[in-house]
Amino acid sequence: MIKKISKLTRAMFTIAFLFSVCASSLTAQTSVKSSAKLERERLSRIMDAGASIEEFRQEYLNYLTELENSMRLFNEIPVVREKLSRNGLKPLATIATAKSSVSEMSPEDLTRLRSVYAKFPGWRDISRGIDALIKPEFRQQLEARLADRGNGAETTNSETTDDCEAALKEDVTNTDISIAKAFDIAANAVMEGFPTDGLTILPRLIPIAAVVVTQTAVLTLETLKATKDDCEGDAFQSAIQQQVTNSTSTITGAVSTSTNTITGAVTIATNTIVNNDNLNKTAIINNDNSNKDTIVNNDNANKTTIVNNDNANALALTNLVNSALTQIIANANANKDEMKNLLLRTQIEADLSSTDGSTFVALYETPSTVCFSSLNSAGLPQTGIPSSTVQCGLLDLVRSIVSQTIANVGGSSTAHAQRDLADGDAQRAAGQYKSAYTSYRKAYKTASK
């Protein structure tokens, strides 16, 4: 549903803009602005949802009749008739079908048709805009042809040739074609504004007639423009050919008169050129020798500069690599210590939370003042490390973990846990390390429950 609304909104914006341009052009051609205002008020009344639907039916039939009259005039242009036949466009037949459909349409379908057209206030300007594209003098000629031929029914004639007289008299410009294309876009926008559901086939087929008409108008103007260009091109070519013919004798005489003068001038110029060539050759050789020495000196200087720059860049790169290496090692050591401390804390908290009466880890109940050498896999003191690297007891670390746990998760049991922590501190100060660890374990469990 959102996509349908978006498509309709774009169509309404497009046609509103195009109709405003076309309506402005038509308004500029009338001298009575009040008449245009009255016409807009009249159409607004007809398009109102509460107005008689039969008034809208008649207005739409008038609209189709205006389009039909314009198409009858276009059909009187032989070259246009041929082009329409080639493109399979039958605007008069299409409009006749549309008029018959509107006349027979039910009030319900006609009401739905009006509700769609009401969203495009300028739809009525299409027929008037198409009609305004035919210039007055050319209109008189086409109306005379139509009167002589009868009812102006559509015909086809594959043998028809380009009608230069018609094309030059209509004098179509690119601006005229652009206006016709604007009407075509507007007619298509109205057709796209019809919903794909909620309407029978008949109301959706009605606006196709306007699209066929606007396509016919575009094709007509493009055909007349192309024909005019061809005809003007032929006239221009004939005029040029005559001018060339008239000028041939004059040019021939001028060439003959100039031949002797040119021959003498060429002889003098040849001698001068030879002398100049000899002088220029000597100057070029001298410049080449001088430039060679300059180039060699520049090459040597540039080589020295490049070597110095390379040495400086190599030293800077070495320093950068060493600095990065130091940073990487420092980060690795920091990460190693972080992982070691995290693992150690996890193991201590696992022991603190173990079942009462389980065997303690001796290292956890040993005070930090008791230190000893680290052992290797053979149980011997570790070699190859600084003598200051020793392993000390972790009872103080256990105490810190318990204190932090009480602060983080003590809750309502914080007071009991704090008393157990204080008992452990007193026992640790008295040298009762196993009892201190037992009290710390009790405080940890009390806080974490």
Rounded distance, CA 447 to CA 409, Å?
6
Top-confidence residue, 17 or 335: 335
Asked whether 209 and 98 are in contact (CB, 8 A), the reply is: yes
Top-confidence residue, 428 or 357: 428
- Identify the weakest region by mean pLDDT among 11-15, 326-330, 334-338, 406-410: 11-15
Q: Answer whether residue 101 is part of any domain.
A: yes
- Residue where a domain stops, chosen among 232, 263, 285: 232
Strands 390-392 and 371-373, by their bridges, are: antiparallel
Report the pLDDT value the prediction gives residue 159, as an integer from 0 to 100: 42
Report the pLDDT value the prediction gives residue 151, as an integer from 0 to 100: 58
- Residue where a domain stops, chosen among 208, 232, 256: 232
Q: Which amino acid is at 109?
A: D
Domain count, the chain: 2
- Residue where a domain stops, chosen among 210, 232, 254: 232
Residue 366 and residue 223 in one domain: no
Q: Which of 196, 20, 27, 25 is nearest to 121 (CA)?
A: 20
Asked whether 379 and 385 are in contact (CB, 8 A), the reply is: no
Residue 19 and residue 140 in one domain: yes
Residue 346 and residue 227 in one domain: no
> Can you give the pTM of this predicted structure?
0.45
Q: Answer whether residue 147 is part of any domain.
A: yes
Q: Answer whether residue 322 is part of any domain.
A: no
Residue 73 and residue 218 in one domain: yes
Residue 218 and residue 363 in one domain: no
**DSSP structural state of residue 420:** H
Q: Answer whether residue 164 is part of any domain.
A: yes
pLDDT in tens, 137-165: 889 888 888 888 775 555 545 444 556 87
Q: Answer whether residue 262 is part of any domain.
A: no
Question: Cβ neighbours of residue 99 under 8 Å, at least 6 residues apart?
Answer: 61, 64, 65, 68
Report the pLDDT value the prediction gives residue 420, as an integer from 0 to 100: 93
Q: Answer whether residue 248 is part of any domain.
A: no
Number of other CB atoms surrounding residue 153 within 10 Å: 10
Report the pLDDT value the prediction gives residue 266, as an integer from 0 to 100: 46
Nearest 10 degrees: Cα torsion 333, 336, 337, 341 = 180
Q: Answer whether residue 292 is part of any domain.
A: no
Q: Answer whether residue 299 is part of any domain.
A: no
pLDDT in tens, 67-89: 999 999 888 888 888 888 899 98
Domain hosting 158: range is: 2-232
pLDDT in tens, 358-414: 888 989 989 988 988 777 777 787 776 665 567 899 999 999 999 999 999 867 789
Residue 222 and residue 345 in one domain: no
Residue 226 and residue 366 in one domain: no
Report the pLDDT value the prediction gives residue 353, as an integer from 0 to 100: 87
